[in-house]
Every structure is written in C-alpha cells, then in structure tokens.
Structure 1
Amino acid sequence: MDILYYLQTFDHFLIYLVTSFVLFLIGTFIFKWLTPYSERDLIRAGNVAVSLKLLGKMAGLVVVLQSAIRSSINLVDLAIWALIAIIIQVLLHFVLEHAFTRNTNLANEVEKGNVAVGLFLGGISVLVGIIVAATISY
C-alpha cells in the first residue's frame, strides 16, 4: 500500500468533493425554486409528503452526480455533464409527473400532506436519476 500516492491525490479528492457538493446544492436549489410552496416550512411543520418528495429529488441528483463523477475526465467535464444531467432530470421529472397524473394538482396534494403523492414524486425523481445517470456513463 502506497500511502504517498493517497496523500498526493488527496487534493483532487477535495476538489471533486467540493465541486460535487456545489453542483448538488445548485440542483437542489433549482428543484426548490420550481416548487410553489416552502418545503422548509412544511417539513418543519411535520409534512412527511414534502420531505419524501424532496428526499427523492435529492437522491436522484446524487445518482446523477455520482455517474458524472465516475465518467468525467476532468473537472470541467464533470461540471458540464452534471449541469446537463440536472437540467434533463428536472425536465423529465415534470414530463413524467404530468403524464402519470394529469388530472391531479400534485403540488396541492403534497402541500396537504398526501404521503402517497410525495412518495410517488420522490420515487419518480430517483428513477429518472438512475436513467439519466446511465446515459452519461461512457
């Protein structure tokens, strides 16, 4: 075991870690920005549906980011693929959300605490994240 190798590459680890967290925060902010209610306030009030939806979105982002990290050849490549994947994930989430539940106002249902809807939407985000992550693996 060559401990010197790990010490020499530790800076790369930190750079990728910080970059990935920033990209994660950007993706989470985009999802929160597109949500018509305050997720923070509703989670504080004990709304499990909102918590499940947000957790699913975050998990989907993490799946996409891990694929971008594994597939990237440098930091710029990571940022480009991660941002493309985040945008695609947001768009696909909304398309699937509306395709499966056209006659239901999902935002209102989640805001009211409908756990089934929150879990469904969070699950869609994870599934879309897995698909998007697989497509950026080259």
Structure 2
Amino acid sequence: MTVVVNIVISVLCIIVLQLLGMLIFSWMTRFNDMEELKKGNTAVGLAFGGKFMATAIILGISAYTNSSIWHMILWFAVGYVCLIVAYWVFELVTPGLRISEQLQKGNVAIGILLAMVFIGTAFAISSLII
C-alpha cells in the first residue's frame, strides 16, 4: 500500500511541476500562448510543444534519478532554470529576430528552431543530472 501511495504522490508532484513549468514559460512570452494556439498558430504550437517536451525530459530524468521527491524537485528546478537561460541566450544571439514577434506572426521555421533549442538543451542538461 505504501508503494502505491508513493507512486500517486510522485505522479501528482510531476503533473503539478509540469503545469507550473508551462505556466512560467507562458508568462515569458509577450503574447498569450493559448490565444495563439486557438487561432491555429503552428509556430507557437511547435515552440510550446518543444517547451513541454523539454520540461518533461528534465522532469523525467529528475524523477528517475532521485528517490526523494525533494531532490527531484530541486534537480527539476536546476534544469528548468537552465532552460530559461537557454531561451534568453537564444534571444541574445539572434539580435535581428524578435523571437516572440516571429512566433506571433506564425514563422514556423522559428517555431521549429526554438523547439529544438529547448529539446536539445533538455537532453544536454539531463546528462548533468544523472
């Protein structure tokens, strides 16, 4: 019974952290992600999906490599901060592009590139957590 309770608590914690991570990413953009998704903005969908996948990768590795929920939360936070830094570095190294503007305009190339930046960063960071 204790194992089942631990699994339920862990899954609930993972869901809350994933949702919190997506909420924070949503606050970082200069537009309303959900409104853009409702409009069918593919670029925003790709970027948002990349953020979701990257957050899930960090969270999954954190959960897999830690037996304590507190350690999992700590390593997720470290990895998540790295994802945020990667986003801002990407903004800095592309001075001719305003990433948020391009996404809002529906620039699919930027959406794909940003998704890959997030997912690639998540994989790289995950190797540090192990």
Instruction: Assess same fold via TM > 0.5.
Output: yes
1:86-128 CA distance string (max 9 Å, x none): 11111122213432x2211111111000111111111111111
**Shift in Å, 1:74:** 0.6
Segments of 5+ residues of structure 2 without an aligned counterpart are none
Count of aligned positions: 130
Partner of 2:95: 102
Aligned partner of 2:54: which letter?
G
Give identity over the alignment, percent.
Answer: 22
Based on CA coordinates, which of the two structures has the bigger radius of gyration? Answer: 1
Question: How is 1:35-50 mapped onto 2 (pairs within 5 angstroms)?
Answer: 35-50=29-44
TM-score (norm. length: structure 2) = 0.94
Structure-1-length-normalised TM-score:
0.89
- Say whether the 8 Å CA contact 1:93–1:128 is kept in structure 2: no
Aligned CA-pair RMSD: 1.2
Q: Is the 8 A contact 2:47 2:111 kept in 1?
A: yes
CA deviation after TM superposition for structure 1 residue 8, in Å: 4.7
